[in-house]
Amino acid sequence: MSDDGERQRAREPEDLSRFFAERANTGDVEGLVALYEPDAVLALPNGDVAAGAQAIRDAYQALLAGRPAFNNGYQAPALVNGEFALTSTVIPGGATAELARRQPDGTWLWVIDRPNILAPT
């Protein structure tokens, strides 16, 4: 969070992944939800989809209950086309793929998130 108590907002699409790791490692569920547009979708490990802020909140509350540790991995430069950006990160055991959208204030939020694009082996 910034000195005034507000969470930092993503000024570049690549900020989202960094903020994800920071917030997840501190158990900041609301901070994770704040990385998404209100009607965003998040793919879940069981094949279901969490659609919307409350479903994403529920998914992260369940995930973070086990206190997993996250690292930044290797983040590829975002592929930007107008108001959209494809972000991706190579993480231990897989890779992520997300679609972010530039907001009216110039910041970025995820609208689609697939945390693991590789099939389990």
Place of tokens 């005034």: 4
Residue 40 in contact with residue 59, Cβ under 8 Å? no
CB 108 within 8 A of CB 15: yes
Would you place residue 93 in the very low, low, confident or very high pLDDT band (cuts 50, 70, 90)? confident
pLDDT tens-digit series, residues 48-63? 999 999 999 999 999 9
**81 has pLDDT over 90:** yes
d(C-alpha 98, C-alpha 16), whole Å: 10
Label residue 16 by pLDDT band (50, 70, 90).
very high
CATH of the domain spanning 15-114? 3.10.450.50
Chain segment 28-38, per-residue pLDDT in tens: 999 999 999 99
The two structure tokens encoding residue 90: 């190579």
Domain ranges of the chain: 15-114
Q: Report pTM.
A: 0.90
Polymer length of the chain: 121
